[in-house]
Amino acid sequence: MGRTRNEDLADYYLRVAGVAAIWIDDEGHIGAADVASVKDDPGRIVYCCLRGDHFRLSYHLYDWKQSVQAIGRKLEEMAAGLSSGLTKHTTAVDRARAAVATVNKAMEVMADQGELREFKAARKVDPAIRYQDYLHSRKAAMLEAIAREANR
């Protein structure tokens, strides 16, 4: 099944909010990703934190090999000790999807109130602009604003 625009927007929100990921697979391998994704990888426990903290935390875990659950607990302890925020992946994804839902609702209200008329002006400048692309870029800008506010 292909990805939806809302999934793309949720991934975009995670990127602009600076959300990174640390994962532990079912064999105890540890990895880090600069940008978390809404995609859920089976067989992995995924935590999210601010970009930058992910390497520091995952690096300290490499020498500490035990069960997957024990590694997860150790990661949580280290994050607390280093004052690094750590969030379960599902929580971070839920927040990203909630931000997308907020933006989608705001766009519906704006459309109902006739506040999206500037598309016509943009279309005069570039007749190749599609309405869906225009809406997508407006939504992306709104998500950036939400992400900035969340990081304050």
CA angle (89 as vertex; 9, 86 as ends), nearest 5: 115
Contact (CB, 8 A) for 58 and 45: no
What residues does each domain of the chain span? 5-92, 101-150
DSSP-H helix ranges across the chain: 5-16, 53-61, 68-81, 89-112, 118-125, 131-150
Per DSSP bridges, beta strands 87-88 and 30-33 are unpaired
What pLDDT does 96 receive?
A: 94
Task: Report, as ranges of residue numbers, the positions in the chain whose pLDDT lies below 50.
Answer: none
User: pLDDT tens digit string along 93-124?
Assistant: 999 999 999 999 999 998 888 877 778 888 88
Q: Which residues contact residue 150 at a Cβ distance below 8 angstroms, ignoring those fewer than 6 apart?
A: 17, 95
Question: Is 50 strand, coil or helix?
Answer: strand
Q: pTM for the complete prediction?
A: 0.75
